[in-house]
Structure 1
Amino acid sequence: MASPRTIHVLQKTHLDVGYTDYAQNVIARYVDEYIPAAIALADRLAERGGPEQFIWTTGSWLVSHALRNGTEQQRGNVDRAIREGKIAWHAMPMTIQSELADRSLFEFGLGISQDLDRTYGRSTVAAKMTDVPGHTVGVVPLLRAGGVELLHLGVNPVSALPEVPHAFRWRAPDGSEIVVVYDSDYGASRVDPEQLTMVGDQALYIAFTNDNHGPPTESTVMGLFDELRTSYPDAEIVSSTLDRFAAAITEFRDELPCIESEIGDTWIHGVASDPWVLSRYRRLSRAREAWSRGHSPLTEDQLADVSEGLLLVAEHTWGESGQVFLPDFVNYEKSAFEAARRRDEIDISANPERYAPQLEAALSIRPRQGWSYSAYEQSWQGKRDFLEHAIDRLPESVRSVVRGMIASPAKSDAPVDRVPVLGVTKLGAFEVAIAGDGALSLLRDRTGRDWAAQHPIGQYRYESFAPEDYGVWFDNYCRGLDLHAGWAIADFGKPGFESSTPAPRREVFRPVVLEAETWREGTTDVLRVTAAMSPDASERLGAPRVVEIDYRASDDGAALSIELRVCQKDANRLPEASWFSLAPRVAEPEGWRLRKLGALVDPVDVVRNGNRRMHAVEALEHAVDDVTITSIDAAVVAIGEQNLLHYGNSYGDLREGFHFLLHNNVWGTNYRMWFEEDQTYEFRLEFGDAAAG
């Protein structure tokens, strides 16, 4: 590798809104402790003089939040530090799981930086996201339209690293492009030449202080500059920002390779760990997007409050670290888990000796209140609070309307003149028949086309997992375990569940129909299927006891609406997932596209070690057959087969349809570990002119 002419030293702390504490406590600590400490450090080094200066870089939201919510003294210090060049923001508000956002919300996030730019006379052209392994190409047009030229992505050091060049031009389907620097860790932060981010003769060194650790010490900064000067005696070592690095590499842009493929997010299944949050987030996002186009019942400030709450849901942290705040590697089996949850205290000495390395973090950061199930569960409330508090700040007259818009639809009462379904029956303009699991085994439109000819439409499945599945996950997905096993085994797996009795095993359960009835509502036919899961799945594991599916279709044949209700589910700490499958028959399966952030993405054009099997989508669209599948509540869909933990680089078979991930708890880290609420999911299949006849 050629020697760098300039090394840009970027000082940064990785913001997790959660993970190390409750979300609100983390935010308060930045405002009250970390930002003042960063300013004080920058002041001391500025007074000292010399090249060893400190410029603290963070996402734009944290700067904006401090300016709006700090004390008068805190706000004044932040304002001064910005004007003196001691605090810098980049174009992204924070690290989000970008596939979870819609176009309008993503643009709102970019607008935070733009507002700061207008206030302080800046022009921010660089952005950064950290930890999340990958993002959708749908971000490219939005970043470029927002004036962003450079995106730096730093990957969690144990997650699969997408096979892309270290620096490249990322081009979206609409032709827009940005420069992307991809690092195998949070950012190149080792003096080793192989670890420096190099573009042309410019190098970037990101001095991270890890997750919510605050700024470094003065001696650490001084020592870093000494080490860099010793290792690179011919290079100029400068305190810098992402914007300055972006400007310095502009002349090398055209030399970079171009990537046009999707990358995707291999963590995306984690967001389905809390279906309650995800449903309300998606429903409120749709309302917010409509309001942002006009005819909003909200003032500009109220709309910004709602938008900020939604942005914090899309942020990549969903709770506290499980291995730190729930260091119980024994009680997974359902009855043992329920008893431990009732006791609500954790005896850390009961853990197997083999997990001593995983317990070190818990012992080093013992919670003030001790370890308990209830305290850990409370950390999941953060996402819900972001939604609730945004709505609570609205005027009462608007608040009730908004709550009604985002609530799951109430189950309609079946009329007394409902009739049982036997064999083929009419549903709007369709003829339908019901399979034994409640799915539609026949969906024939008036042209004679059977949309369920290849696979039934509306299959519910509940799945459990075995230790062997996690063996595949660690073998195929994880890297760097020789360095990071101490924390990664617990973050990426479920240590101790393999010792549960009876031994966990991979099983797939399907419901059995109890009854099916139909009735008329105006110009719409309703078909309600009531089904039950096996007692084994519900009592031994965490399957819902009752599954209800309402199918609705009108006489015009334009659409099939589905309302799925899963009821009477117990909390279950053993790994589990539930799915709902839709596989309408089309002539050319390769014609399916995924709508993400407004862009249409080809599901079979994804880089190696990206996510080739699972995506968060706004909709699935097939232009040739004029079919659209929209999931109102569930965001994540698997292509071709229900696939969790068996990560790989093969594509799912589009002929096998789409499998929406309703819920799962297979992640460790900070996603929700159990869920026990009734939940409703809505889906809509629109057929355009294809079914009109």
Structure 2
Amino acid sequence: MSVLRLSLLMFFALTTAAHGQAQQEPSKVTDVWLVFKTHFDLGFTDLPANVFARYREEMMDNALKIIDENARLPKEKRFSWTVPGWPLSAQILGPLQTPERRLRVEKAVREGAIVAHAFPFSTHTESLDYEDLVRGLGFSSKVARTYGLPLPISAKMTDVPSHSWVLPVLLNHAGVKFLQLGCNPASQYPRVPPLFWWEGADGSRILCQYTALYGSEIKPPVDWPCRNYLGMIMTNDNEGPPTQKQLDEILARTTRDLPGVRIHLGTLDDFARAVLAENPKLPVVKGDTPDTWIQGLLSNPEEAKIARNIRPLESALDGLHTQMKLWNIPMEPVSEKLAKAYEQSLLYAEHTWGMNAEYGPRYSYGDDWKKWMKEAEAEPVAADGDYSKLPNSYAKNTEKGSKRKWLNSYDEKRRYIHNAGNIVNEELSNHLNLLARSVGIGGKRMVVYNALPWPRSGLVEIPWEKGKYFYAKDVPASGFVAFTESQVQDYTPTVDTQPSFDTPHFKIVFDLNKGGISSLIEKSTGRELADKSSGYVLGQFLHERFSSNEVDTWFNAYSRIKEGWGLNDLGKPGMPTADKLPYKAITPANWHIKVSHSAAADIATLISEDTEGLAKKYTMVFTFPRKAAYVDVEWFVDSKTADKHPEGGWLCFPFAVKSPAFTIGRLGGPVDPAKDIITGTSKYLMAVNSGVSVTQADRSGVALSPVDSPLISLGEPGLWKFSMDHVPSKPAVFVNIYNNMWNTNFPLWQAGTWSEKVRVWGVGTHSATMSNLVEGAWDARLPLLTGFADGQGGKLQSQKTGVTTSRSGALVTAFGENPDGPGVIFRLWEQAGESGEITVSLPAKSAFKSATPVNLRGEPTGSRIALSGGKFSFPLGAYAPASFVLE
């Protein structure tokens, strides 16, 4: 999402004025490095295809013009333009570039006049999974390797105010030395020093400059701690490079205002090398900075679900393909398709989700909005995306084109994750069914595949009996077991309508007024897991309709710009006042229950049509496996009603935990919200990678993993809330399942039919919190997978073990063709917080002889390790990755 409205020269004037008084005092700065970049938005200013065309053509021509004009100057005075890795690799140097322009761009790249930093673009970082982030570094690496250049040692993201603390871990283990982050100028931002070491959960550090604007002020602040200073000069959203006139004026002003200071035109890497050579003494900041724009993910709830489900399956497909080849099953290569899936997943995580809302019905509500929608839906669609060719009555409805064009911009964004999902799901289905055909069992059969590197059991749906389940026991690590039809037949279930019943693990009582569990007693301990003093019950669906009071309170607390574009983009101008539409909390009533009891599971289905106009129908399904102590809670909506008025939906989980301590399984490492979140970032709503544990003094409690939606609030629902010092105190977790909070370029309403699942389980007094959370959450997020076949069998054994690790809690995020060079890449990422020696056992009879340690961009970092019996051992730090090229 982008909301910047400052021109380059206005930015220069404002930042100069802002520090005029401070600069009357002496500064230690001797060298200023001016780095030029434009802010890349995937589709904010236009449809993505049109943005890409501008980068390939107009922007490149303008950049090459100023590069040519500066070619005869001394090297430190030559203009260079910094761009993100993906647009340079995939677009500017991609297959749609003209041969003539490509030659000029290639020359500029080789000479260092056009430079890629390490990141592909700005992302909603905490929405991703580990391997997506690693593959994102590959675009700039590819450019560097293609043109014989060193890999970039600097990275830059702009606009998104804050990011998961996976970044220092990711960048440090990739050989990147410096990170520049620039905030959207209206948003709140992490309160950190201007230059500091950012430390991740594993102890990795990255040199970081954080600025409260897109770039950094050209005049150094008086407290700048180094002799070298970075002036990060940004042009507007997708605006392109400065003109020669603008460049000359900037240089003249900088020279005038900073007498005696050496001025360098260069790159982020130039600055990084200069400042690191000083070996400065800088503060260390260890903490997480949750994204204050992360609510935007659930403006596309169906696509958020696809993204959360498909990203772990990318790694699963990679490992399954490699192991099937080792099991001598003939396979077509999958690396190109997998690379495309990773790219499409990354593009969905890029921070712009559609065109600027000022070209849509931003100010329309109620009947006015319905009229706008009716007109938009009546407009024709430009199949080629060129809406300028439509009749003027449509093409000129808004400054940027037709209303239909604005609507379609959101479909363009959604298409990325649908593309990734289609690729991975199709390939996984083909692989699993081929595996089933290959086992030496005839007749109707299924294989159950475990993509995790530790053995487990689990509930799976029988492929030929939809709605019936089978409990697959002891599926080997990264391996499979084949089952015949006779082995998996389920007993015919019995059905009743009793709102209370027992399972082998729980005593359960349902509240049919609120549609959830009012009592959940764990039989092994006798503990009550549901908080009976809460106003909510476990699994309850809550819909909030917000008033102007909540919106205004949040806006006044959060936005640094109170008028103009700040109000338009972050507020909700035009909405009815609270006296006309007050806040309302809605939970459907009159739930009807049906309970199915079988040998595999007890399943309670609750249905309500008492929806107050919010949808056609709601369904809640609570699944209790008979051989596992957890409950899956799944919410279904039938035909949700679209509404542009601010709203949000939640699944509520109040737990019976005294004086609760929260452990949030975040991307990069666990977070204690009482001490690990940096002030100025999101404390009410954030994305989780694994899940949340809520425990008391004896370490017992309850854990939860949101399978389909990553967004959670602790203690209370967290939409339209911002605080510098909030710490949750109530033992409750709320999973957000949709919202239309943002007003800039996220969808402004949600409609349709979809589902959301959450898994809940008890935590025992002797459990290690993180290992329990990691194993339980990844069992939910990456469930056992099934393949189906019928007829003649093959020659493969009916059970095989794949990659195994000597301890659980470390994910295999890559096991396949090396994207950075020859060989097979193997990557683990520790999740459970355990440091020490770990042994990896590769599939039996694999031909690998050695493992060479490499960083996350494929550069060797240590001596080759000889494999013995298909095994190798190495130290693995808590929350750290480890990568090897197998040969």
Considering fraction of residues, name the structure with more helix. 1
More displaced stretch, 421-430 vs 169-178: 421-430
2:863 alignment partner in structure 1? none
Shift in CA distance, 255/462, structure 1 to aligned 2, threshold 3 Å: same
Q: 1:251 & 1:49 partners in 2: Cα distance?
A: 23
Counterpart for residue 42 of structure 2? 17
Q: 1:339 aligns with which of 367, 371, 374?
A: 371
Whole-Å separation in 1 of the counterparts to 2:268 and 2:371:
51
Deviations 1:636-679 (A, max 9, x none): 11111112222112334243311111111111110111111111
Moved more, 72-81 or 139-148: 72-81
1:13-60 Cα offsets, whole Å, 9 max, x none, are: 000101101122212221222123212321222146685421110111
Alignment partner, residue 462 of structure 1? 543
Amino acid paired to 1:524: A
Alignment-derived partner of residue 350 in structure 1: none
Tell me the CA shift for residue 371 of structure 1: 5.6
- What is the one-letter code of the residue matched to 1:548? T
Query: Match for 1:631 among 695, 706, 709?
Result: 706
- Indicate whether 1:58 and 2:58 are aligned: no
Runs (5+) with no aligned partner, structure 2: 1-25, 323-330, 379-394, 433-448, 450-460, 470-490, 768-887
Task: Report SS of the residue matched to 1:170.
Answer: strand
What's the CA shift string for 1:467-502, capped at 9, x where partnerless?
Answer: 122221221111133xxx3211111012111369x8
* Equivalent residue number for residue 361 of structure 1: none
Of the three residues 409, 430, 435, the one matched with 1:379 is: 409
Q: Which of residues 655, 660, 664 in structure 2 aligns to 1:594?
A: 664
Question: What is the TM-score with the length of structure 1 in the denominator?
Answer: 0.88
1:42-81 equivalences in 2 (<5 Å): 42-47=67-72, 52-65=77-90, 66-69=92-95, 70-81=97-108
Cα deviations across residues 573-610 of structure 1 (Å, max 9, x unaligned)?
Answer: 111111112233345621x3222224112222212211
| 1:554 and 2:625 correspond | yes
CA separation in 2, counterparts of 1:328 and 1:251? 50
Q: Does residue 655 of the first structure (1) align with residue 730 of the second (2)?
A: yes
| Match status 1:176 vs 2:257 | no
The equivalent position to 2:334 in structure 1, one of 285, 299, 312, is 299
Question: Counterpart of 1:383 in 2: which secondary structure?
Answer: helix
1:505 aligns with 2:582: yes
8 A Cα contact 1:102 1:596, kept in partner: no
Q: Which of 654, 657, 665 is the aligned partner of 1:583? A: 654
Decide whether the 8 Å contact of 1:462 with 1:508 is kept in 2.
Answer: yes
Task: Please state how far the C-alpha of 1:295 moved relative to its aligned partner.
Answer: 3.0
C-alpha distance in 1, partners of 2:36/2:530?
A: 56
Q: Structure 1 pair 18/533, CA: closer, same or farther in 2 (3 Å)?
A: farther
Q: What's the CA shift for 1:83?
A: 0.3
Please list the CA deviations of residues 515-549 of structure 1 after superposition, one character each: whole Å capped at 9, or x if unmatched: 011002441110111123442xx2xxxx3342211
Cα separation, partners in 2 of 1:61 and 1:380, compared to 1, 3 Å: same
Aligned mates of 1:272, 1:121 — CA distance in 2: 40
Q: Is the 8 A contact 1:163 1:609 kept in 2?
A: yes
SS of aligned partner of 1:286: helix
Cα 1:169–1:328 shift into 2, 3 Å: closer
1:27 aligns with 2:58: no
TM-score (norm 2): 0.69
Structure 2 CA distance for aligned equivalents of residues 650 and 166 of structure 1: 21
Alpha-carbon distance in structure 1 between the residues aligned to 2:68 and 2:396: 33
Instruction: State whether structure 2 residue 287 is matched by structure 1 residue 233.
Output: no
Separation in 2 of the partners of 1:572 and 1:393? 32
Whole-angstrom CA distance in 2 between matches of 1:400 and 1:28: 36
C-alpha contact (below 8 Å) 1:427/1:527 kept by paired residues: no
C-alpha contact (below 8 Å) 1:42/1:55 kept by paired residues: yes
Letter in 1 for 2:357: G
1:443 aligns with 2:520: yes
Match of 2:347 in 1: 312
Provide the secondary structure at the position in 1 that maps to 2:355. coil
Q: Is the contact made by 1:509 and 1:533 (CA closer than 8 Å) also made in structure 2?
A: no
2-side partners of 1:19 and 1:304: how far apart? 25
Maintained 8 Å contact 1:136/1:263 = yes
User: In angstroms, what is the RMSD of aligned CA positions?
Assistant: 3.0
| Mapped partners of 2:549, 2:430: distance in 1 | 48
Q: 2:568 aligns with which of 490, 494, 511?
A: 490
Residues 95-119 of structure 1 deviation map (CA, whole Å, 9 limit, x = unaligned): 0011111111111112333333333
Q: Deviations over 1:225-277 (max 9, x none)?
A: 11111111211111111111111111455511111122111111111100011
Match of 1:88 among 115, 118, 136: 115
Displacement of 1:319 after TM fit?
0.7
2:716 counterpart residue number: 641
Query: CA offset at residue 394 of structure 1?
Result: 7.9
CA deviation after TM superposition for structure 1 residue 401, in Å: 8.1
**Judging changes above 3 Å, is the alpha-carbon distance between structure 1 residues 458 and 397 closer, same or farther for their aligned structure 2 residues?**
closer
Instruction: For 1:183-222, list aligned pairs within 5 A.
Output: 183-189=211-217, 191-194=218-221, 198-222=224-248
Write the letter of the residue equivalent to 1:342: K
**Amino acid in the other structure paired with 2:368:** A
Find the partner of 2:604 among 524, 527, 543: 527
Distance in 2 (CA, whole Å) between partners of 1:678 and 1:212 is 35
Gap change, CA 1:291 and 1:401, over 3 Å in 2: closer
The residue number in structure 2 matching 1:665 is 740
How many percent identity over aligned positions?
Answer: 27
Aligned residues: 654
Q: Give distance in 2, aligned partners of 1:627 and 1:292.
A: 33
For structure 1, which segment, 272-281 or 626-635, has the greater mean C-alpha deviation from structure 2 after superposition? Answer: 626-635
Secondary structure of 1:637's aligned partner: strand
User: SS of the counterpart of 1:513?
Assistant: coil
Alpha-carbon distance change, 50 to 397 in structure 1, aligned in 2, over 3 angstroms: closer
The AA in structure 2 aligned to 1:473 is W
State the match for 1:2 in structure 2: 27
1:612 maps to: 683
Unaligned runs of 5+ in 1: 347-364
Judging changes above 3 Å, is the alpha-carbon distance between structure 1 residues 488 and 247 closer, same or farther for their aligned structure 2 residues? Answer: same
Task: State the one-letter code of the partner of 2:541.
Answer: Y
